[in-house]
Amino acid sequence: AVLLAWLAAANPSALKISRQSLPRFILLGFVLAATMFTYFYAISKIQVAAAILLQYQSPVLVAAYALAFSGERHSTSTLLAIAGSGLGCYLAVGAYTLDLLSLNKAGIIGGLSAAAFLACYTLLSESALRRYKPWTVLFYASLFSAVACNLLPTPLEGLTRSYDATQWFWILFISIAGTAVSLGLYNKGLRMIRSTHASVTATLQPISAAVIAFLFLDEIMGPWQVVGVALVVASIILLQLGREKR
Q: Which domain holds residue 127?
A: 20-151+165-245
Domain assignment of residue 133, yes or no: yes
Determine the Cα–Cα distance for residues 197 and 201; give it in Å rounded to an integer: 6
Cβ–Cβ under 8 Å, residues 141 and 125: yes
Determine the Cα–Cα distance for residues 212 and 210; give it in Å rounded to an integer: 6
Looking at this protein, which amino acid is placed at residue 150? N
Domain assignment of residue 31, yes or no: yes
Domain assignment of residue 11, yes or no: no
pLDDT at 14: 80
Question: What is the pLDDT confidence band of residue 15, given thresholds at 50, 70 and 90?
Answer: confident
**pLDDT of 179-188, one tens digit each?**
888 888 888 8
Domain count of the chain? 1
Domain assignment of residue 59, yes or no: yes
Question: What is the pLDDT confidence band of residue 246, given thresholds at 50, 70 and 90?
Answer: very low
Q: What is the pTM of this model?
A: 0.80
Domain assignment of residue 8, yes or no: no
Domain assignment of residue 160, yes or no: no
Domain assignment of residue 118, yes or no: yes
Among 241, 232, 239, residue whose Cα is nearest residue 209: 232
Residues in the chain: 246
Domain assignment of residue 15, yes or no: no
